[in-house]
Amino acid sequence: MSHAWRPLFVVIGLLAVVFIGRAVFVPSDFSAKNGDYKYQWHREGNEDDWKNFKVKYKGGKEYCGECHDDEFTWISASKHANVQCENCHGPALGHPEEGPEKLAIDRSRDLCLRCHAKLPYRPTTYNELPSGPIRLAMQDPDEHNTDVECVECHDVHKADFKE
């Protein structure tokens, strides 16, 4: 037998292993539904599980603005207008009907630095920032007021210094 046939047999053997492994490990009801091969891959057998899954986030500042109109007005007019309330306050699941009367308010420096920490691959000033929907003032956490929480000087709902 020619040495050129050996790689072909190896490839055919590997393909056989992949197809047999798929038949053994992938559930038979896992497929792309409605012919959408980009987004519809799922198991048909667990659709009800996902339909009954309780969502933690309400989504949208408008939900929060129904009761917290001052904060909603301030943040909508600020540089934080694109930030959803739940990004900082956590999920509003069941709030206020069945959940906590007040959501947790994280006043830690670490929360602010999730978005505002100076990173080596990001520009540090507005002048250097590329155009786009989010333009953040970056701070070096090792240099900028290291012993003070951000909320001591900044009003996060107005995205400005406290008055």
Q: For 7-13, what is the mean pLDDT?
A: 93
Q: For 62-82, what is the mean pLDDT?
A: 86
pLDDT reported for residue 35: 74
Range with lowest mean pLDDT among 13-17, 76-80, 115-119: 115-119
pLDDT reported for residue 84: 87
Contact 71, 157 (CB under 8 A): yes
pLDDT at 146 over 60: yes
**What percent of the chain lies above the pLDDT cut of 90?**
12
Q: For 45-56, what is the mean pLDDT?
A: 86
CA angle 89, 72, 159 (to 5 degrees): 75
Contact 156, 109 (CB under 8 A): no
- Paired tokens of 20: 């047999």
pLDDT reported for residue 141: 82
Residue with the larger pLDDT of the pair 122 and 104:
104
